[in-house]
Amino acid sequence: MGRSFDTIRFRAEACDACGQCVIACARAKTGTDDTSRARLQILGGGTEGAELALCRQCTDPQCAAVCPSASLAKDPDSGVVTWEAETCVDCLLCTVGCAYGGIASDPVAGHVAKCDLCDGAPECVAACDRGALEHVTASRLYNTQHEREDLFAPGLSACHGCNSELLIRHTMRHIGRETVVAAPPGCIPGMGVVGYNGQTGCKVPVFHPLLTNTAAMLAGLKTQYARAGRDVTMVALAGDGGTVDVGFQSLSGAAARNDPMLFICVDNEGYMNTGMQASGSTSYGSWTSTTPVGEHMQGKSGDAKSLPMLMMMHNGAYVATASTAFLEDYHEKLEKAYATAQHGFAYLHVYAPCPTGWRFPAALTTEVCRRQVETNFVTLWEYTRDGGLRFTRPVEGRRPIGDYVEMIGKYRHLDQTHLDVIQHQVDERVAFLRRFAAPAGG
């Protein structure tokens, strides 16, 4: 229990039932083109879309629970529900236990057969060029993270659907106890990270700096630890107000001095903790309580200030943007940022769509994060002094910005003219960033 495993994800909307995956499976598993013997089957494919019958590699597999010969079992390492031919008695009770059609009789072999994920390299996924099958390996994250200590108390009081809690728990699990956290005023201390009247939600040393001075304060602290010869990592968990606006001077100074720290900006585009006022990071057109919508105002009239770009221009030792919809990407960047923070300045800008302040359903946060990236509203990249800027997710083939804007209540008042402006801003920003990107293969 408590482990997660790789799986094959099926996106029905991308599947046109071409059958390549089934053929690939039949070949890989039976050496024939007899698709009736394949371990996955694609069904339908008409106007109602394609459907899949495939083993889900259940955590608590019913096929195994009802097997009288103990021939089916969840492999604790790979997560594959394994089947042992030698002990199987072909009773077919497993097919009665499974609710997915994931284990079925191979009519030629005369016994049941099921997907074994091809030892971690599923042939069906390799054969799918429609993007309908994906080998999801995010389980590595879960498994490595959950072994590590959660450094926040359970029950932080973040708003429903806020991704900041997810982000900071992941972050601190990764970084560990030899750390000092500084969380300036904002949502993160607001959810109990620093604490209230003598109680705290954090298990590592944590400070509630001023909104204005997080980076300078950490720089001073790190200076003393460097004098003392102790390896302690400085971590800022700041909102965009404490980064983009009043926090910017001390941040700029620390970045320019290459002060060793990991500064994480959790960008929810405004002062959401205090009632959704606009910040320098608020995007064009956004409704906020200080950029309201009325006869004479249509939300924010200017564009957002791009802090990650500014940090790149400071020649920060490591600068990256990240989205919680792409946690593997985030963890790769966190790893690099953490390593950098031992000797230099590392900056991570993580986007935090705010269900409460942006007005979208709390259940959709991750989808909103994903859509930000898919529309290039947010681009995921990293900058190093040696490698320059590198996009970590493709920026080609973006979806139209309307696909993102339509999800968010704070844009509800926008018309096509506004949308055109935002689309132009997005495309311009990507074009601008491309100029800093190292040439392909370089």
Q: Which of residues 24-83 bind other proteins (CB under 8 A)?
A: 41, 43-44, 48, 51-53, 62-63, 65-66, 68-70
**Which of 58, 80, 98, 172 touches other proteins (CB under 8 A)?**
98
Shortest separation between residue 266's beta carbon and other proteins, angstroms: 19
- Of 134-142, 215-223, 295-303, 353-361, which segment contacts other proteins by CB under 8 A? 215-223
CA distance 5 to 59: 9
The neighbour count for residue 391, using CB atoms within 10 Å, is 17
**Which of 96, 109, 121, 363 touches other proteins (CB under 8 A)?**
96
Cβ pair 263, 254 in contact under 8 A = yes
Shortest separation between residue 228's beta carbon and other proteins, angstroms: 7
**Which of 141, 210, 419, 421 touches other proteins (CB under 8 A)?**
210
123: its two tokens: 């042939």
Shortest separation between residue 417's beta carbon and other proteins, angstroms: 38
Q: Which residue has the tokens 């097919």?
A: 95
Site string for other proteins, 223-262 (x = CB under 8 A): xxxxxx---x----------------xx-xx--xx-----
How wide is the angle at C-alpha 317 spanned by C-alphas 313 and 323, nearest 5°? Answer: 80
* 153 makes contact with other proteins (CB under 8 A): no
Long-range contacts of 289-298 (CB under 8 A, 24+ apart): 293/413, 298/413, 298/414, 298/418
* 7 makes contact with other proteins (CB under 8 A): no
Taking alpha carbons only, the member of 206, 262, 260 closest to residue 230 is 260
Give the strand pairing for 179-182 and 206-207.
parallel
Nearer to other proteins, 97 or 308 (CB): 97
318: its two tokens: 């490591």
Shortest separation between residue 211's beta carbon and other proteins, angstroms: 9
Q: For residue 114, what is the DSSP state?
A: E
Size of the site for other proteins (CB under 8 A): 78
- Of 163-171, 188-196, 313-321, 358-366, which segment contacts other proteins by CB under 8 A? 188-196
Taking alpha carbons only, the member of 309, 298, 294, 300 closest to residue 277 is 300
Shortest separation between residue 159's beta carbon and other proteins, angstroms: 18
Of residues 371 through 400, those in contact with other proteins by CB under 8 A are none
- Of 16-24, 200-208, 237-245, 400-408, which segment contacts other proteins by CB under 8 A? 200-208
* 196 makes contact with other proteins (CB under 8 A): yes
* 213 makes contact with other proteins (CB under 8 A): yes
User: Does residue 31 come out as left (phi exceeding 0), alpha (psi in the -120 to 50 range) or beta?
Assistant: left
Cβ pair 363, 353 in contact under 8 A = no
- Of 187-195, 273-281, 308-316, 429-437, which segment contacts other proteins by CB under 8 A? 187-195
**Which of 31, 77, 110, 294 touches other proteins (CB under 8 A)?**
110
* 121 makes contact with other proteins (CB under 8 A): no
Nearer to other proteins, 107 or 387 (CB): 107
Shortest separation between residue 115's beta carbon and other proteins, angstroms: 14
* 208 makes contact with other proteins (CB under 8 A): yes
Give the strand pairing for 41-44 and 72-74.
unpaired
Dihedral sign for Cα atoms in the order 374, 375, 378, 384: positive
* 99 makes contact with other proteins (CB under 8 A): yes
What contacts 124, CB < 8 A, 6 or more positions away? 8, 21, 22, 24, 25, 40, 133
Cβ pair 324, 366 in contact under 8 A = yes
Give the strand pairing for 345-351 and 318-323.
parallel
Nearer to other proteins, 1 or 440 (CB): 1
Shortest separation between residue 381's beta carbon and other proteins, angstroms: 27
**Which of 22, 58, 162, 180 touches other proteins (CB under 8 A)?**
180
Phi/psi for 433 (5° steps) reads: -65, -35
86: its two tokens: 């030698």
Nearer to other proteins, 244 or 422 (CB): 244
Nearer to other proteins, 100 or 432 (CB): 100
